[in-house]
Each structure stands twice: as C-alpha cells, then as structure tokens.
Structure 1
Amino acid sequence: MTGSPLAVSRQAGRLGQVNDAELTAGDQVRLRPLRARIVCAVAAGALFLVFVFVATALRGQVNEGPATFGRGDQIAMVVLGALGAAGILALTRPRVVADATGITVRNLVGGYQLPWSVVRSVRFPHGAPWASLELNDDDIVPMMAVQATDKDYAVAGVRALRALHATAGRS
C-alpha cells in the first residue's frame, strides 16, 4: 500500500493508496504535479546558471565594437536569469487540497474553493491532460495538479478524491 506517493494526511500524515473505507472525517488529500515540478526545477536551475555564465563571460568590449559590458550589465543578466527561473517555477503553482467538507483547486491562474455538494463528479477522461471536476451546473473545473504524465500518482489521486466525494455525499 505504500508504493504510491499520494499524501493523505491526518495530524502526522500517512502515505498509500486510499479506498473509500479508509477515509475518515479528519483525512485530507493534497495533490501537486510530480513530473512537472521536477522538469521545472531542472529548467529553472539550468536557465539561471546559463545567465550567470553569460554574465561572467561578458566583460569589457565585445568584438572591438562600441558596446562594452560593465558590472551593471552583469548584474542585470543575473537578475534576468532569476526572473526567468521564477517564471518557470510559477508553472509548479497548481495544487489540490480536499477534505470531507470540500475541495480547493489552485491552477496556474485562479483557483476555486468548492463544497462537495456542488461537485457532480471527479473526471479524468482518457486522453485528457489533467483531471477535472464536473459541477452540478454542468461547469467543468480543471485540476492541473492531477496530470496524466504522473500516471499512477494521478490515478491514485483521482481515486482518493472520488472516495472523499462519495464519503461527503453520504453525510
């Protein structure tokens, strides 16, 4: 049961796949994209290092032309690298937090805090890039934190969310 990285926490927390019978009122499911976070962290680090390298390499005149690079230009390059890395890391913003009372979805832009009573179903259609919530008014709320590229983690996350939804529907 501990093979899945899905975090379902009480006070101290526990790991494992969750089924409907295991969930209690104090359980909370927290989901974040796994592979996207790794890719973004590596890309942000690489981008920052490239900008630092360029900043240290550009000193003095270039090709004996009128352009010269001073200390201010080097600092600007490092700052640009930091801003670019921060922009890449912003892609790791999506997360889902759910408990017996409702679900909070935070995507790249915007977020939703919904009680389970307005959620009709937790969906993850074949071929979709991420899971979504179907609401009672036929709206669809994407959950970018549960991505298809995370495979088993995403499936376990959807199962845990469905179990919470079913548990909330009985109370």
Structure 2
Amino acid sequence: MSAVDRPGPSPYDPFQPRRGRAVALGAGVVSLVLFCVLAALVPGGARGFGAVDRLMLVGCGVAIAAVLARYAAIRAIPDESGLTVRNLMTTRHLPWTSIEAVRFGHGDPWVSVVLDDTETVAVMAIQRADGLGSQAQAGRLAALVESHRPRRGEDDRLREV
C-alpha cells in the first residue's frame, strides 16, 4: 500500500509520545536486568551482601522499572465528550467545552491546554522531543477543540435555558 492509498489518522486517535515511550521502556528493561544481575554477582559472606541486601537491589530495579512503565503509559485519549489526559501521576477527563486554548510555545516540552477556569493542564502525550510530528499532533488537538466549540447560535441558546 503506497503512502497515497493509506488513510490519514482519525481525529479521535489517541495521542501518545513516540520517543519518550521507547526510551522509558528500554531504560526500564535495562534497569531491571542490571539490578538483578548486580544482585546475583555482588560478593556475599560475612562482610558482603546478604539475602535482604540482594532483595533490596532487585526491589530498586523493580521500582525504577515501574516508574518508567508509568511514563511509557502517558497518553491523551479524545472522544466525543472530551479529552482524557493521563500524565505521569494523574488521569483527568476534560470536557471539550471547558478547554479554551491549546498552547505549544517555542521551548515548551509538551502541549498545555488552558481551561475556562484559567487553570492550565499539561498534556505530556504530545512532546516536543517527537520533532515535527509533535507540531502536527498539537494542530490535530487544536482542531478537535475548535470543532467541539459551541457555535455562536448554539451558545446563545444554552444561555437562555
């Protein structure tokens, strides 16, 4: 199938970082293997590492891998009702009507959305590290926000109710 025959992305495709995800998954696997090998190879005995010390090393590897796995799970999922943003520590659903603007200024590491209550929410799923693709993804998000904005007549009818 040629590039011309391939359909473009759907507006409701999830946003997900490419480079950050790959690096996080790779580093998570490396840290887990490294800490397990280290726990197996450190000297034991009276002056060396005991079983608890070895388990702690493996536990450190598991903890680092878990944090990196959470980083790899960052995404933003648009649907008809709004945008569900899953960042490193929080997951939040933002209705389209509450999103005022999409910001991706020069030097910003990821996209931010400005809400109608003046709060700013980071959308870590669209990262500048992804290069020019990040600009296209930010544009797609801005187009989604604009397409769900109430039209002037609809907005007036909502105020009357």
Q: Normalising by structure 2, what TM-score?
A: 0.78
CA shift, 1:16, in A, is: 2.8
1:16 matched to 2:8: yes
Looking at structure 2, the residues matched to 68 and 105 of structure 1 have their Cα atoms a distance apart, in angstroms, of 47
CA shift, 1:53, in A, is: 1.6
- The change in CA–CA distance for 1:137 and 1:38 in structure 2 (over 3 A counts) is same
Report sequence identity in percent.
32
- Considering Cα pairs closer than 8 Å and 6+ residues apart, tell me whether 1 or 2 has the greater RCO: 1
Unpaired stretches in structure 2, ≥5 consecutive residues: 152-161
1:151 matched to 2:131: yes
- The change in CA–CA distance for 1:60 and 1:135 in structure 2 (over 3 A counts) is closer
State the match for 1:34 in structure 2: 18
- The change in CA–CA distance for 1:145 and 1:2 in structure 2 (over 3 A counts) is farther
1:163 matched to 2:143: yes
Looking at structure 2, the residues matched to 78 and 30 of structure 1 have their Cα atoms a distance apart, in angstroms, of 34
Structure whose residues are more often helix by fraction? 2
State the match for 2:74 in structure 1: 94
SS at match of 2:113: strand
* Structure 2 letter corresponding to 1:79: G
Q: How many residues align?
A: 149
State the match for 1:107 in structure 2: 87
**Residues 38-49 of structure 1: matches in 2 within 5 Å?**
38-49=22-33
Deviation per CA, 1:28-81: give whole Å up to 9, x if none: 2311111111111121111112112212212433xxxx4243455434432332
Looking at structure 1, the residues matched to 28 and 134 of structure 2 have their Cα atoms a distance apart, in angstroms, of 24
Looking at structure 2, the residues matched to 150 and 167 of structure 1 have their Cα atoms a distance apart, in angstroms, of 25
SS at match of 1:31: coil
Q: 1:56 aligns with which of 31, 40, 46?
A: 40
Unpaired stretches in structure 1, ≥5 consecutive residues: 4-13, 19-26
CA contact (8 A) 1:17 1:160 kept: no
State the match for 1:142 in structure 2: 122
Q: Normalising by structure 1, what TM-score?
A: 0.74
CA contact (8 A) 1:51 1:77 kept: yes
SS at match of 1:109: coil
Q: CA RMSD, aligned part only? A: 2.6
CA contact (8 A) 1:120 1:135 kept: yes
